[in-house]
Amino acid sequence: MRLTIEDFTYINHQVQQIKAAPTAELTDEVGLSHLLTKIQETPATEAGVVQQAATVLTQLLDHPVFAAGNLATAVVATIAFLRASGYEITEHVPGFFIALTDQPLDVTNVSSALAPALREIEAPNDAIHSVFTDEWVLATVKALAD
């Protein structure tokens, strides 16, 4: 799955609307481009997809690229990326990410937590906007204030 700057911007815009906050702006396009390059350099194997998802989450949290909503954007982008890559998280999603963000985040820790919590899905959905049709995504966004 290839994410674009526009995908991340769309996700952040939707997150801001759910949180009833003003629309945030992309403040670090270079940083976001760097993240996209890191993702594309990782092989698209199952382990690679886990590492790519971990990179999405950790990089967006370590290097915020939006004026607001970075935590919720990172989580939703990770969920959307996994879904589009043919995986879904089997854990209670809001609780899983809240617990995950309570520990030191690096790609190795996040990959280790994600790998056993994933299962393959039959029909990957690469429509980024479709992630916002799930109530649990809305609940997750509302639970993550930053």
Q: What is the pLDDT of residue 134?
A: 76
Write out the chain's pLDDT in tens, 146 residues.
578 889 889 888 888 888 777 777 889 999 999 888 888 888 877 788 899 999 999 999 889 999 888 888 988 899 888 888 888 888 777 678 777 777 778 888 888 888 888 888 876 666 677 777 777 777 777 777 54
Instruction: Provide the pLDDT for residue 126.
Output: 65
pLDDT score, position 55: 92
Amino acid letter, residue 106: D
Spatial distance between the Cα atoms of 96 and 128, rounded to a whole number of angstroms: 21
Q: Is 65:25 a contact under the CB 8 Å cutoff?
A: no
The confidence score (pLDDT) of residue 97 equals 78
The answer to whether 78 and 91 have CB atoms below 8 angstroms apart is no
Instruction: Determine the Cα angle at 18 with ends 15 and 21, to 5°.
Output: 80
Q: Which residue has the tokens 């999603």?
A: 93
Q: Which candidate, 33, 56, 35, 125, places its Cα nearest to that of 88?
A: 125
pLDDT at 43: 81
Q: What is the pLDDT of residue 105?
A: 82
- This prediction's pTM: 0.84
